[in-house]
Amino acid sequence: MSNLNDASAPAVPDAVVRAAVRVSRARGVPVADIPLIAVAEEAGISRSTLMRRLGGSRRALDEAVRAAGVDPGGQRPVRERAVEAAARLISEQGLVALTLERVAGAAQCSVHSLYAVFGGRDGLLRAVYERHSAILDVEAVLAGPREDLPETVRTIYRLLVEVLDREPRVMPAMLADALSRPDDPAVSGIFQHVFSRVIDGVGQWLTSEIAAGRIRDMPPLLLVQQMTGPLFAHFVMRYAAAHVPGVTLPTSEEAVEVFTRNFLKAVAVRPPEDGGT
């Protein structure tokens, strides 16, 4: 079995990899913490023979174990490292630049490990989206006891602002790709997943607000776009606007208040007075 990250690395025999995994499971500790002498004994060879087969480096064993789909330990789990590495790549270069090979290199794991953990690129992208979007927090807010309509809108906006305004800037990069490459399969796949979650969550809540007579009867998709579009546009362009001479940016909280008030004025059956929401 060869190291997928380094073509010059020695081919570690499968029997050695299996022996390392057996010892790890028997002792209940990561492979990285197993002494090589214990691996050699389990494989039925001497330590010096094992070292020759590893090319003199323990790293070859750890990489071979990782390539077999087992995290050898000594590092954070593959899932955590991969999601973090993918998020940085998306933030810096966009969705279309993301490949499993690049993620594997940045996360110091094998492509095989990524397939074992995520099932492929789409699974990785969904994990990145759930980690670096507000969807889980928004769904939790809408599933539990809620405040009145203005406060619920304000809370959702604050959750969105938090993910739009922090590094790595995954959501702005995804939005930019959606606008610039809407027909690209690499972009459309993740957005089909994203928008179905949004419509299922936020859309159903807005539909319930229509039924309760608190907002006007409009198609859920248009309501979702009315609610999120201005906020997304502001925060996607916010960093560029900061460099324009004479432009003074509002604070994030000021932006939340303005967008909350404007959305309610546009859709609420009884919109708030100008003095507040």
The pLDDT score that the predictor gives to residue 94 is: 86
Same domain, 151 and 245: yes
Residues 6+ apart with CB under 8 A from 229: none
Distances (CA, A) of 126 to 30, 66, 67, 188, 207: 28, 22, 23, 13, 26
pLDDT of residue 273: 58
Categorize the per-residue pLDDT at 6 as very low, low, confident or very high, splitting at 50, 70 and 90.
Answer: very low
* Mean pLDDT across 48-65: 85
Q: How many domains does the chain have?
A: 3
Q: What is the pLDDT of residue 5?
A: 41
Examine residue 214 and state whether it is found in any structural domain, yes or no. yes
- Could you give the percent of the chain with pLDDT greater than 70? 93
Which pair of tokens denotes residue 55? Answer: 């090319």
73 assigned to some structural domain: no
Residues 198 and 87 in one domain: no
- Does the pLDDT at position 9 exceed 90? no
Would 273 be classed as within a structural domain? no
Range of the domain at 41: 14-67
Which tens digit of pLDDT belongs to each residue from 191-231? Answer: 777 778 888 889 999 999 999 999 999 998 899 999 999 99
**Same domain, yes or no: 164 and 106:** no
Q: Are residues 113 and 176 in the same domain?
A: no
- Residues forming beta bridges with residue 215, ordered by sequence position: 268
CA gyration radius for the chain?
A: 25
Amino acid at 22: R
Query: What gap in Å lies between CA 129 and CA 121, rounded to an integer?
Result: 12
Residue 72, amino acid:
P
42 and 152 share one domain: no
Is the model more confident about 59 or about 89? 89
Q: What CATH number is associated with residue 227? A: 1.10.357.10
Query: For residue range 144-191, what is the model confidence (pLDDT) as tens digits?
Result: 887 799 999 999 999 999 888 888 988 888 888 888 888 887 778 777
